[in-house]
Amino acid sequence: MSRDVAIVSFASTSVTNTDVTETQLLYPVVTEAIEQSGIRRDEIEFTCAGSCDYLQGAPFAFVSNLEATGAWPPISESHVEMDGAWALYEAWVRLQDGDIDVALAFSSGVSSRAVDLNEVTNVQLDPYYLMPLWPGHLALNALQARALLDKGTYTERDFAAVAARSRSDGRSVDDLLNEPYVASPLRAHDLPPVNDGAAAVVMVAGDRAKEVCSRPAWITGIDHRTDAHYPGVRDLATATSARIAAEKAGVGDGDVDVAELYAATSAQELILRDALGLGDKVEINPSGGALASHPFMVAGLTRIGEAFRQINENGCNRVVAHATSGPALQQNLVAVLSAEMNTLAAPTMNGVAR
């Protein structure tokens, strides 16, 4: 049985074509998350950051992001070259040790300076057999969408419906279906925008979480898994690793009010709904998801932060958050957030002053 750990605060930013550095984007976000938590900066016992040097085009780019934490005197800190959702996972693991109670996780990414982000994501592929074909995430995600259509369960109209709901920009499904393909069968609205951003969460273990936050979001389950990298050796129309992660995180153990899914294409949302076993009653991505805002390396942690908000601000009881890494949903993380603690008798949240 895991130790009860809750998210007690979340802050984020997502902008277009920022003219500041990742560190500058991070600083106010980290500060806001800490101030919101009601916990002093020097009470944070472990910090984990996520980012990708390749986005800034400079090795060791992550080093300067340490400035956003004010790492002096020296802090116990680690960094993952992954989406911030995995930074949160490392911090959650560290809290499971039981010797510390407060952790900070954050991530950042400035993607807008790449002339073509697809050229950057191409460099994430197997360098010997796949990278030279230059598919990037775009072509692989399109192949995935095609594989999904070929199964016959969904149509391009379903893709457009996901896009229309996520973007909520007044265009109808029929309007969207009249648009040209970018990479068949995906149209512009099926693909995410390019954003720059940062996000931060503060996590607290045990009773301290209830002291600092009137309605913390308890992490009752969290797990991450990967699929094989080669697109030819797995069924792109399913997300096996997401399904396993969801089972391990206990998604099916109770009703789900809302799910925040990191779907970088409209087709991926449909694949994820099925993989996570989310029924029709589950509201998907009220935040708009990655189709509305897509700060690379931050979008996953943002899903978890939005899930926290659903519990903390909107009165939800059980919310699922998902993050992904790699092309075509190769690697997936699933977390279940709850208004109630895992191991102890559920305290009544009603009547507790904010």
Partner 1 sequence: MERCAVVGIGQTKHAKVREDLSMAGLVREAAQRALDDAEMTWRDIDAVVIGKAPDQFEGLMMPEVYLADALGATGKPIFRVHTAGSVGGSTAVVAAHLVTSGVHEKVLTVAFEKQSEGDTTWGLGGGRSGSIGAGGYFAPHIRAYIERSNAPEYIGWMVALKDRKNALKNPYAHLKLEELTLEMIKESPMVWEPVRRLEACPASDGAGAMVLASEKVADAASKPPAWVHGLAVRSELGQFPGRDPVNPQGGRDCAADVYKQAGITNPRQEIDMAEIYVPFSWYEPMWMENLGFAAEGEGWKMTDEGATDFGGDLPTNVSGGVLSSNPIGASGMLRFLEAASQVRGTAGEHQVDGARTALGHAYGGASQFFAMWIVRSAKP
- Least CB distance from residue 111 to partner 1, whole Å? 12
Q: Which residues of 306-317 are buried (b: 16+ CB within 10 A; e: fewer)?
A: bbbbbbbeeebb
Q: Decide whether 54 or 159 has the Cβ nearer to partner 1.
A: 54
Residues counted in the chain: 354
**42, 106, 188, 231, 291 from 148: Cα distances, Å:** 49, 33, 18, 14, 18
- d(CA 297, CA 196) in angstroms, rounded, equals 9
- Least CB distance from residue 206 to partner 1, whole Å? 15
- d(CA 337, CA 216) in angstroms, rounded, equals 9
- Contact (Cβ atoms closer than 8 angstroms) between residue 291 and residue 167: yes
- Least CB distance from residue 353 to partner 1, whole Å? 33
- d(CA 280, CA 332) in angstroms, rounded, equals 22
- Least CB distance from residue 261 to partner 1, whole Å? 19
Residues near partner 1, by CB under 8 A: 2, 47, 52-54, 57-63, 66-67, 70-82, 86, 89-90, 93-94, 96-99, 120-121, 123-128, 130-131, 223-230, 233, 240-241, 244, 325-327, 330-331
- Least CB distance from residue 331 to partner 1, whole Å? 7
Phi, psi of 224 (to 5 degrees): -140, 150
Q: Decide whether 125 or 186 has the Cβ nearer to partner 1.
A: 125
Q: To 10 degrees, what angle do helices 266-276 and 156-167 make?
A: 100
Q: Decide whether 71 or 133 has the Cβ nearer to partner 1.
A: 71
- Least CB distance from residue 54 to partner 1, whole Å? 4
Backbone Cα Rg of the chain: 19
Q: Decide whether 312 or 331 has the Cβ nearer to partner 1.
A: 331
- d(CA 342, CA 305) in angstroms, rounded, equals 19
DSSP summary character for residue 57: T
**What is the residue whose two structure tokens read 């396993």?**
244
Q: Decide whether 227 or 260 has the Cβ nearer to partner 1.
A: 227
Please name which of 1, 2, 6 lies closest in space to residue 319, comparing C-alpha atoms: 6
Please name which of 248, 257, 251 lies closest in space to residue 317, comparing C-alpha atoms: 257
- d(CA 154, CA 160) in angstroms, rounded, equals 11
Q: Decide whether 130 or 200 has the Cβ nearer to partner 1.
A: 130
- Least CB distance from residue 342 to partner 1, whole Å? 14
- Least CB distance from residue 5 to partner 1, whole Å? 11
